[in-house]
């Protein structure tokens, strides 16, 4: 057994202990779906960060910067700025007016059955796409990080899947929250340590570090090259590079506030004020992390080098290889374990988001018309859903295999969130005239256009055969989502939704009548 | 979900206190959103369409592009800080509206 595996098993043991503790405390729906609404501001801030920063952030962005310099760093900026939309527009009214899922705020004054059915479809789509990307990534990582331990891709994927099922089925939102908190602390500690070691490598001199970044050496087609890595345009090139970046930025800025697994985190705090505080905590942590990608990415470029990374596992190994170069095998083991912890916390968040939406939105409100069938029915259905979602995700990830190109699935999740979920949420909060037809149209058109544009785009068909030139469909699909919402609203002439607009406004802005934390 | 006596939504929505709250909130949120979107999207637009200008070195090896990207973090944190400060005022105004609920009734269950 090797060191990364031991450290990872220690993390698994800790999270299982958390799950056992949470299972004993947990009873009832508010407890299972929303951790009893008793998570504090800083705890939820850490959990949001842990829910959000995926393996793509940790390994992917470090690699993007190590290989493409500035363009990779610019890519990371949008992941923080996106939280301003969450903070200023969505978090507080959602907490005040909703209960367990994203669809609650849509169903508040619109016709619940069609709206919840569409919202559940969008939530399940976003969650499963995102989850499959994480699972395939987890499996592929194993072959790189733990290649001496004899653990195969299938074993790794099954292990990650089973763990997320255990967290959610037994520990519900409370266990998920604490797994995310532990992960966020580990990730920040690892990143901070790595950053300090990078600076130490340059004698703690920013001048020496930045000077090295301006003179990065590697080989292209066998010829040595020296490149200033602060130069923009090494990755995003004409004719469509800039447009693709703008489109990605739109998906991040409008999509983060429409990601169901992030939104449901705001139901775990006692009130809207705490929800706000938790977004600010999350912004401090997420921002600090992305600023430090400067050290991770540029550090890997200057200390390890593109050539070495290419021959030792490829672009996604940039951060672990940097850890190995600076801190030896033990630090490599720690950083590898952090990468796994990162994936586990994110998939747990996605699983509970998918299962609460299926149970609360689809089962209770669409199939059973909102009439409760016993107090534990909703939780029981959610547990079964979590199990099914987990098994399906394991099966799909094994079928796709470690070589599958799944990075576009994360982009797809953000595109759907930005083009379908966000228009529906924002218009239902702010536009009195908005009605059921508008919400269904926004969700349907946003979902369909995002999927279609990705299917005919370069990620799926390859750059040569693409019928749509951009990897990120946001710049087209987001306006389609909003336009569909407005046109369908005006065309339908249904004005019944206006009756409860005053109620939603007062409740959303004052918290009057909002769900209370459970007495415990 | 609703208690015996639901809050008087429509009456509260019509009070001057509630209108003042909505006005105060949008006076902060609308300009803040417009500003951060303009500031953020300026980055890919400038880098994408004016690469030579953005690549100009201004501080040792650091160019405008890198410093502008770093400034995005400061901008986001600054707006979050300013909003948190302004929101204390919104909270006080919201509490005032909540106090008006049931003001002309006898007792109210919490």
Mean pLDDT of A391-395: 93
Q: Is the pLDDT of residue A1 over 70?
A: no
Mean pLDDT of A168-180: 94
Cα R_g (chain B), whole angstroms = 23
How far apart are the CA of B94 and the nearest CA of chain A, in angstroms? 5
How far apart are the CA of A389 and the nearest CA of chain B, in angstroms? 30
Contact call for B73 and A77, based on CB within 8 A: yes
CA separation for the pair A418, A251 (Å, rounded): 6
CA separation for the pair A134, A340 (Å, rounded): 10
CA separation for the pair B15, A485 (Å, rounded): 30
Peptide bond into A368 cis (omega under 30): no
In chain B, where the domains are located: 9-100
Q: Six-digit token pair at A146?
A: 């733990």
Chain A CB contacts of B37 below 8 Å: 253
Contact criterion met (CB below 8 Å) for B64 and B55: yes
| Cα A378 → chain centroid | 25
Q: Tell me, what's the pLDDT at B109? A: 43
CA separation for the pair A285, A311 (Å, rounded): 33
Chain A CB contacts of B83 below 8 Å: 87-88, 276
Mean pLDDT of A250-261: 95
Which of A59-68, A172-181, B73-82 shows the lowest mean pLDDT across its residues? A59-68
Say which of B29, B60, B73 has its CB closest to residue A210. Answer: B60
Mean pLDDT of chain A: 91
Contact criterion met (CB below 8 Å) for A390 and A164: yes
Q: Tell me, what's the pLDDT at B110? A: 41
Closest CA to A69 of A306, A311, A324: A306
CA separation for the pair A185, A338 (Å, rounded): 10
Closest CA to A505 of B10, B85, B46: B10
CA separation for the pair A185, A342 (Å, rounded): 10
Contact call for B61 and A213, based on CB within 8 A: yes
Superfamily assignment of A3-510 in CATH?
A: Sodium/glucose cotransporter (1.20.1730.10)
Cα R_g (chain A), whole angstroms = 23
DSSP A99: S
DSSP A507: H
Mean pLDDT of B57-80: 95
Please give the share of chain A, as a percent, with pLDDT higher than 70: 98
Mean pLDDT of A182-194: 95
Closest CA to A400 of A57, A54, A138: A138
- The predicted-structure confidence for A95-128, as pLDDT tens digits, reads as follows 999 999 999 999 999 999 999 999 999 999 999 8
Name, of A154-163, A243-252, A306-315, A437-446, the range with top average pLDDT: A437-446
Please give the share of chain A, as a percent, with pLDDT higher than 90: 68
Q: How confident is the model at residue B108 (pLDDT cuts 50, 70, 90)?
A: very low
Contact call for A232 and B55, based on CB within 8 A: yes
In chain A, where the domains are located: 3-510
For residues B90 and A339, which has the higher predicted lDDT (pLDDT)? B90
The residues, ordered by sequence, that sit 6+ positions from A455 with a Cβ below 8 Å of its Cβ are A461
Q: How confident is the model at residue A515 (pLDDT cuts 50, 70, 90)?
A: very high
Q: How confident is the model at residue A324 (pLDDT cuts 50, 70, 90)?
A: very high
**Bridge partners, residue A219, by sequence:** A224
Unique residue bearing structure tokens 């055969």 = A465
Mean pLDDT of B81-105: 90
How far apart are the CA of B22 and the nearest CA of chain A, in angstroms? 8
Q: Is the pLDDT of residue A407 over 80?
A: no
Chain A CB contacts of B2 below 8 Å: 513
Chain A CB contacts of B41 below 8 Å: 246, 249
Q: Is the pLDDT of residue A180 over 70?
A: yes
| ipTM at complex level | 0.93
Contact call for A88 and B18, based on CB within 8 A: no
Closest CA to A268 of A63, A436, A48: A48
Mean pLDDT of A310-330: 89
- The predicted-structure confidence for A134-146, as pLDDT tens digits, reads as follows 888 888 777 677 7
Full DSSP string of A82-148: HHHHIIIIIHHHHHHH-SSSTHHHHHTTS-HHHHHHHHHHHHHHHHHHHHHHHHHHHHHHHHHHTTT
Q: Tell me, what's the pLDDT at B104? A: 58
Q: Tell me, what's the pLDDT at A336? A: 85
């Amino acid at each position: 057994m090797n060191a990364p595996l031991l450290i990872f098993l220690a993390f698994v043991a800790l999270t299982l202990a958390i799950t056992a503790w949470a299972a004993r405390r947990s009873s009832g729906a508010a407890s299972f779906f929303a951790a009893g609404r008793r998570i504090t501001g800083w705890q939820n801030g850490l959990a949001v960060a842990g829910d959000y920063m995926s393996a793509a952030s940790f390994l992917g962005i470090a690699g993007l910067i190590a290989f493409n310099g500035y363009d990779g760093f610019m890519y990371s900026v949008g992941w923080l700025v996106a939280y301003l939309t969450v903070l200023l527009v969505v978090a507080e009214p959602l907490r005040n007016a909703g209960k367990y899922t994203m669809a609650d705020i849509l169903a508040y004054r619109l016709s619940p059955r069609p709206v919840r059915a569409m919202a559940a479809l969008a939530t399940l789509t976003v969650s499963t796409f995102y989850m499959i990307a994480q699972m395939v990534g987890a499996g592929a990582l194993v072959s790189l990080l733990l290649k001496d331990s004899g653990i195969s891709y299938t074993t790794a994927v099954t292990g990650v899947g089973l763990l997320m099922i255990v967290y959610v089925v037994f520990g519900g939102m409370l266990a998920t929250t604490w797994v995310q908190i532990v992960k966020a602390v580990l990730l920040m500690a690892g990143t901070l340590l790595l950053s300090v070691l990078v600076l130490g490598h340059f004698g703690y001199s920013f001048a020496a570090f930045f000077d090295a970044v301006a003179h990065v050496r590697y080989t292209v087609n066998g010829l040595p090259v020296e490149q200033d890595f602060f130069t923009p345009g090494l990755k995003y090139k004409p004719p469509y590079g800039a447009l693709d970046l703008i489109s990605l930025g739109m998906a991040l800025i409008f999509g983060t506030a429409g990601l169901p697994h992030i939104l449901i985190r705001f139901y775990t705090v006692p009130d809207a004020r705490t929800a706000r505080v938790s977004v600010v905590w999350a912004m401090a942590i997420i921002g600090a992390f992305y600023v430090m990608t400067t050290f991770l990415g540029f550090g890997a470029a200057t200390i390890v080098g593109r050539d070495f990374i290419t021959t030792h596992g490829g672009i996604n190994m940039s951060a672990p290889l940097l850890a190995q170069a600076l801190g030896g095998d033990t630090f490599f083991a720690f950083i590898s374990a952090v990468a796994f912890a990162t994936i586990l916390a994110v998939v747990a968040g996605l699983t509970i988001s998918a299962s609460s939406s299926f149970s609360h939105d689809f089962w209770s409100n669409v199939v059973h018309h909102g009439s409760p069938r016993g107090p534990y029915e909703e939780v029981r259905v959610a547990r079964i859903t979590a199990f099914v979602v987990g098994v399906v995700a394991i099966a799909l990830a094994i079928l796709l295999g470690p070589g599958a190109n799944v990075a576009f699935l994360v982009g797809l999740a953000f595109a759907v969130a930005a083009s379908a979920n966000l228009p529906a949420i924002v218009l239902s909060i702010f536009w009195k005239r908005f009605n059921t037809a508008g919400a269904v149209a926004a969700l349907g058109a946003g979902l369909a256009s995002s999927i279609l544009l990705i299917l005919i785009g370069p990620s799926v068909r390859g750059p040569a055969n693409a019928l749509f030139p951009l990897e990120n469909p946001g710049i087209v699909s987001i306006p389609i989502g909003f336009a569909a919402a407005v046109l369908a609203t005006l065309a339908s002439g249904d004005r019944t939704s206006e009756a409860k607009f005053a109620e939603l406004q007062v409740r959303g802005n004052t918290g009057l009548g909002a769900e209370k934390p459970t007495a415990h | 979900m609703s208690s015996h006596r639901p809050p008087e939504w429509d009456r509260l929505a019509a009070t001057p206190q509630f209108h003042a709250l909505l006005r105060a909130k949008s006076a902060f949120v609308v300009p803040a959103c417009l500003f951060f979107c303009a500031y953020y999207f300026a980055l890919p637009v400038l880098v994408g369409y004016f690469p030579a200008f953005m690549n100009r070195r201004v501080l040792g090896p650091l160019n405008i592009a890198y410093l502008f990207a770093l400034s995005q973090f400061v901008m986001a944190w600054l707006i979050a800080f300013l909003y948190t400060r302004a929101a204390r005022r919104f909270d006080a105004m919201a509490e005032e509206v909540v106090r008006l609920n049931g003001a002309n009734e006898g007792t109210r269950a919490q």
